[in-house]
A and B are shown apart, each in its own frame.
Chain A
């Protein structure tokens, strides 16, 4: 443990020892102010957003979350369509991204020959560096038409009996396009966290299972997954948080419609995407407030996601350290 705390860092202790130096006070003060910056920013952000959202919060209250009406001409607003769209796209993407990410992490830690791990790992992480606006551009001009011309009709033919692919695909902008883009964004995040987790599974546990004659898959299923279970859950939650907050790429490919529908070929909208598309041209004061109310919901959600992931990780880390 190389982090210096305790007697080495405590200025009070140093002062007692007579080693106090005014330079120390200056550095201590400066760094403390810097360290408080996060808390200050968080407070500012919460305060500014809530105060700007207040007119809408006052007008609609918590009913805002269940109201399906988003009507600028009638000056009545509700977040339900966007909560639905956010949930559908994010969880849909998670459903696709989770197995893919876990598989990639397993490949990189257990399967791949050593010389391949570095390059392939780097390539997967490179996918994370592609800016969202660039992915959105690719989504509009390449992926969208490809879905309409090839993937869509195939899904409609084979799975058209489900509510998800009921109609034939028409436009490139749809829930499905948004889900695809979000999946691409989530995979590198979840897989890199899982990769770290799998690498940290204690050698002895793995070797024990192999000594008993387990196949690699049984090793994964019986040793790695149970050990890394909580971390994997945290990774999913963090990936979900990323998807929920994505505004730009989603607004480029989702079609900006307020429909609540299970048909993935239909256009829809999410919280973040609606803010990005409508904020600049909002017609009334109440509409601006309602859009900031959407931002407050997003803020609250990101806080919950973050703290939840953290709680899971610390609780399980404590439990695991107790066991070993």
Chain B
């Protein structure tokens, strides 16, 4: 009896030992763990597959979660579409943010029998999310879309229930086009008090609820709308043109801000009227990587970010991530020297 038991014990220990050895051996590269925004996640997923130097782990928990995670040093890098506020910078105790992804927030809708790219201007979107327009056959929507017949269907606005940089981008836009939204809801912020609608977690969650709910309208990075075959609206820019999210319309919007703030922030929401911005999509945004200034993984992180803003950008085109402009590519060269181990 006792021989059998000790034999069993030896076997178990051996098994565990082998398993540990196997898994340890499999990770001879280093690992970088990150968390945050779901907005850039489709592109980051491409990087995870194609970056060979280190293994990249990434958890899409929302920009708010990313900011909290890097502040708590729970991860090696954070990702957020919302730039850090001064308070968040001081709470982070020595962090740096750098733009590394450029794309746009689509306004998606689920309306059977209605074509893609219906016209919705900022005022209409704001009033939908304020709860003032409650049905798709409202005159205010019909007026923007002559010739399109809308069904009698309740509008269900969908928003992000988690701390979201896409919410920041979306509320940033709505604040700039609608005074009532600005006073009632405010922001821009990763979390706001939405007067009406249904919450969902993550960009995928918003896409999920919109797909499952007839008459729903929601906001998420354009890649999610394309991937899930969800229709998205054409939004009117300040020049009066109707623009949909695309590489060209995003590039046009990006030319609205070429000057970094002291914290590397670039704001390209709702570009002004002008020849350069005729085709601009007004709800475009950069997304940022958040790094601690003092980290034991400084060399690895610097290499990763440098790769991401250069070679990494090519993987994004198909998913409507416009490669970041040259002045953004060169910024990390000077800024990353501040990151030390």
Please tell me if B196 contacts chain A, counting CB pairs below 8 Å.
yes
Partner of A171, one of B185, B186, B193, B209: B209
Please tell me if A37 contacts chain B, counting CB pairs below 8 Å.
no
From 62 to 83 in chain A, residues with beta carbon under 8 angstroms from any chain B beta carbon are: 69-74
CB distance from A138 to the nearest CB of B (A): 14
Contact present for B192 and A73 (CB under 8 Å): yes
- Tell me the bound Cα distance from A283 to B163 in angstroms: 7
A and B contact pairs by CB, cutoff 8 A, 19 listed = A70-B193, A72-B193, A73-B193, A74-B186, A144-B212, A170-B215, A171-B213, A172-B209, A173-B209, A256-B199, A258-B193, A267-B197, A277-B201, A280-B64, A281-B62, A281-B64, A281-B162, A282-B68, A283-B189
**CB-CB nearest 10 A-B residue pairs:** A281-B163, A281-B64, A256-B199, A256-B161, A72-B191, A255-B198, A280-B65, A281-B65, A73-B189, A171-B213
- Tell me the bound Cα distance from A26 to B161 in angstroms: 53
Residues of B near any A CB (own CB < 8 A):
61-65, 67-68, 87-88, 91, 154, 156, 161-164, 185-187, 189-194, 196-201, 208-209, 212-216
CB distance from B70 to the nearest CB of A (A): 12
Closest A residue to B161 by beta carbon equals A256
Partner of A283, one of B190, B209, B212: B190
Please tell me if A145 contacts chain B, counting CB pairs below 8 Å.
yes
**B67: chain A residues within 8 A (beta carbon):** 281, 283
Please tell me if A278 contacts chain B, counting CB pairs below 8 Å.
yes
Contact present for A281 and B164 (CB under 8 Å): yes
Residues of A near any B CB (own CB < 8 A):
69-74, 140, 144-145, 148, 167-168, 170-173, 255-259, 267, 277-278, 280-285, 287
Contact present for B198 and A281 (CB under 8 Å): no
CB distance from B152 to the nearest CB of A (A): 11
Contact present for B154 and A283 (CB under 8 Å): no
Provide the main secondary structure of the chain B interface. Answer: loop
Closest B residue to A141 by beta carbon equals B212
Contact present for B154 and A170 (CB under 8 Å): yes
**A69: chain B residues within 8 A (beta carbon):** 193
Contact present for A257 and B196 (CB under 8 Å): yes
Report if A73-B212 is in contact (Cβ < 8 Å); known contacts: A257-B198, A281-B68: no
**A74: chain B residues within 8 A (beta carbon):** 186
**A282: chain B residues within 8 A (beta carbon):** 64, 68, 163, 191
Contact present for B162 and A280 (CB under 8 Å): yes
**B197: chain A residues within 8 A (beta carbon):** 257, 267
Closest A residue to B193 by beta carbon equals A71
Contact present for A171 and B216 (CB under 8 Å): yes
CB distance from A139 to the nearest CB of B (A): 12
Contact present for B191 and A283 (CB under 8 Å): yes
- Tell me the bound Cα distance from A140 to B198 in angstroms: 13
Contact present for A278 and B191 (CB under 8 Å): yes
- Tell me the bound Cα distance from A71 to B189 in angstroms: 11
**A277: chain B residues within 8 A (beta carbon):** 161-162, 199, 201
Closest B residue to A169 by beta carbon equals B154
**B156: chain A residues within 8 A (beta carbon):** 170-171
Closest B residue to A74 by beta carbon equals B186
Partner of B192, one of A72, A280, A287: A72
CB distance from A312 to the nearest CB of B (A): 38
- Tell me the bound Cα distance from A278 to B261 in angstroms: 29
- Tell me the bound Cα distance from A257 to B193 in angstroms: 9
CB distance from A79 to the nearest CB of B (A): 14
Closest B residue to A149 by beta carbon equals B214
Contact present for B199 and A257 (CB under 8 Å): yes
Contact present for A255 and B199 (CB under 8 Å): yes
Report if A278-B193 is in contact (Cβ < 8 Å); known contacts: A73-B186, A74-B186: no
Contact present for A256 and B198 (CB under 8 Å): yes
CB distance from B64 to the nearest CB of A (A): 3
**A280: chain B residues within 8 A (beta carbon):** 61-62, 64-65, 68, 162-163
Contact present for A72 and B61 (CB under 8 Å): no
**B213: chain A residues within 8 A (beta carbon):** 148, 170-172
Given A73-B192, A168-B154, A281-B61, 6 further pairs, Cβ under 8 A: A73-B193, A170-B154, A171-B209, A256-B198, A281-B191, A283-B191
**B65: chain A residues within 8 A (beta carbon):** 280-281
Among B63, B198, B212, max chain A CB count under 10 A is at: B198
Contact present for B61 and A173 (CB under 8 Å): no
CB distance from A310 to the nearest CB of B (A): 36
- Tell me the bound Cα distance from A280 to B72 in angstroms: 11
**B185: chain A residues within 8 A (beta carbon):** 73
Among A172, A255, A258, A287, max chain B CB count under 10 A is at: A255
**B164: chain A residues within 8 A (beta carbon):** 281
Among B67, B154, B193, max chain A CB count under 10 A is at: B193
**A167: chain B residues within 8 A (beta carbon):** 154
- Tell me the bound Cα distance from A171 to B215 in angstroms: 9
- Tell me the bound Cα distance from A71 to B185 in angstroms: 9
